Amino acid sequence: MVQGCEDLQAEPGLPHAPRVSYRMTEAAVVLAEPGTLAVFGFGAGAPSVDDPRWLRVEQEPFDAPTPLELWQVEADVIHGRDGDLNWSSGGGWLFAAIEPDEREHGGPVGAARYAYERLRHFVGGRAEHQVLRIWNYIGAINHGDGDQERYKQFCEGRAHGQGDFFAEGYPAATAIGHDGAEHHLQVYLLACTHAGERVENPRQVSAWHYPRQYGRTSPGFARAMTLPAQDVLAISGTAAVVGHASAHVGDLEAQLNETLTNLAALLASADMPAGFDTHSPLKAYVRHPADAPRVREILQQRLPGVPVLMLHGDVCRSELLVELDGWRYA
């Protein structure tokens, strides 16, 4: 573990990154605090809250009670709804979320296309039009064979829906299976008035260059994104992929260690100090609930003191058992 740094060395005029944290509290408490851009609850036990800044993520947590995830900015925040799209903004930052029902859009391809078309048109008309980070939570993500696997169908719909919006480069992203209804797609993003810097991992083939075996449409995401003020690295979903192949099939501990090696490579590529600290929250998505205690034990040994939210989630490749994403603050 490394110590956090409170003195963020940002260029004048560039917005400081949102502060992301986990907190044991009620949603109403943090939604009432100044600068709250977004709040996330997890699993079926999270409450329903009528506020555009609130999202109940369809991932079941392994810990009870479960903290909320909080995004806060150094500015006043406004929020609203644009049809079925929720949004909030402040300090040069934008949160937007949409949750289409596949049954209303002809299945996973149509729902993904619709979600990304709506987000593209909404974000493209705003000052905060630089999309830096996206999360995709997909029901039954590994169901289906070959090109009919639901994740591969999602990738096709996403590519159609986003069009050429990311022609200059993809944002960082996560795509994970959730525990809710199969037809329920959840997509949310963080955008800014200023561009970030995309980061790739030299140990991995860039996702958009994956060979045909991974689907008709390659996944479109950067491995990480340095936010505009160079004060945080937003880390995409990271698993035991070396080159383009899944490593250590069937070996949970080896896959988790390989994932941590990939995270270290990302930090080095971004010119960030090695290691994580108490201000840099991570999520661990674990395929099999029985594996959660061992994942927690290894992470406590390898990343002592680092806040890790443990969630049940199917990784986009059926042979991968665990995935990590999160934030590394400078």
Catalytic residue among 102, 149, 156, 323: 323
CA dist., res. 43 & res. 53, Å (int): 17
| CA-closest candidate to residue 95, choices 38, 152, 137, 33 | 38
- Please calculate the CA angle 199-259-98 and round it to the nearest 5 degrees: 65
Strand residue runs (E) in the chain: 19-23, 36-42, 54-57, 68-72, 78-82, 85-90, 93-98, 130-139, 172-178, 186-192, 197-199, 224-226, 232-238, 241-242, 245-246, 282-286, 308-312, 322-329
CA dist., res. 184 & res. 327, Å (int): 26
Contact residues for 220 (Cβ-Cβ < 8 A; gap 6+): 155, 158, 159, 162, 166, 170, 173, 207, 208
- Alpha-carbon torsion 42, 46, 48, 54, what sign? negative
With beta carbons less than 8 A apart as the criterion, state whether 187 and 135 touch. yes
Contact residues for 196 (Cβ-Cβ < 8 A; gap 6+): 130, 132, 225, 226, 227, 228, 234
99 is catalytic: no
With beta carbons less than 8 A apart as the criterion, state whether 85 and 79 touch. no
CA dist., res. 252 & res. 27, Å (int): 34
What residues are labeled active site?
A: 323
